[in-house]
């Protein structure tokens, strides 16, 4: 039985199954969602729709969104951050508000849910139909600027 062809066929099948199980990627787990209220500012001079991601000295990710259009100072700027492993999706949420208090030119929010790792980040603004993608190592002082297209 040990030297038969059937034994070697079964042994090869079992070995292939074990290799297949070991080589399967680990599940990424559930997607975690965090919500952040932001602030609006009317004094920003950069009118080009863009996003600046800056890591402060405490390892928090500061998001500056320039070139807001049609958002009043009475409106709102917030972010929904979805984390799946090292993939991060930041969804911008805008509320236009009343323009009588002036028009907002910039939004700001501080994200504190990311650890000191390298993340692949996608920034989306459903209200404007614009987005940007970049990779960033969450390390104090790192910064990246992307135009929203």
Instruction: Count other Cβ atoms within 10 Å, centred on residue 33.
Output: 13
- Which residue in 111, 28, 47, 35 sits closest to 78, CA to CA? 35
Q: Averaged over 111-126, what is the pLDDT? A: 96
- The pLDDT of residue 23: 81
Using a 10 angstrom Cβ sphere, with 0-12 exposed, 13-18 middle and 19 or more buried, the burial of residue 132 is buried
Q: What share of the chain is helix, strand, coil (3-state, %, to 5)?
A: 15, 45, 40
pLDDT band at residue 21 under the 50/70/90 scheme: confident
- The pLDDT of residue 28: 65
DSSP 103: B
**DSSP character string of 55-80:** E-TTS-EEEEEE---S-BTTSEEEEE
56-85 pLDDT tens trace: 999 999 999 999 988 999 999 999 999 999
What phi and psi, each to the nearest 5 degrees, are found at residue 141? 95, -20
DSSP reduced 3-state for 17:
helix
- The pLDDT of residue 64: 96
**Model-level pTM?**
0.81
> What are the angstrom distances between the C-alpha of 91 and each of 50, 52, 77, 100, 105?
14, 14, 11, 27, 18
- How far is it, in rounded angstroms, from Cα 68 to Cα 106? 6
């Amino acid at each position: 039985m040990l030297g038969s062809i059937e034994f070697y066929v079964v042994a090869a099948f079992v070995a292939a199954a074990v290799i297949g199980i070991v080589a399967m990627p680990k599940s990424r787990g559930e997607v975690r969602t965090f919500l952040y209220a932001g602030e609006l500012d009317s004094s920003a001079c950069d009118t080009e729709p863009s996003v600046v991601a800056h890591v402060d000295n405490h390892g928090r990710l500061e998001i500056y969104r320039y070139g807001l259009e049609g958002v009043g100072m009475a409106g709102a700027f917030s972010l929904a951050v979805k984390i799946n492993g090292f993939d991060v999706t930041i969804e911008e949420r805008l509320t236009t508000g009343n323009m009588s208090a002036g028009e907002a030119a910039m939004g700001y929010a501080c994200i504190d849910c990311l650890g000191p790792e390298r993340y692949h980040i996608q920034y989306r603004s459903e209200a404007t139909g614009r987005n940007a993608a970049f990779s960033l190592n969450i390390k104090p002082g790192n910064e990246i600027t992307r135009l929203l297209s």
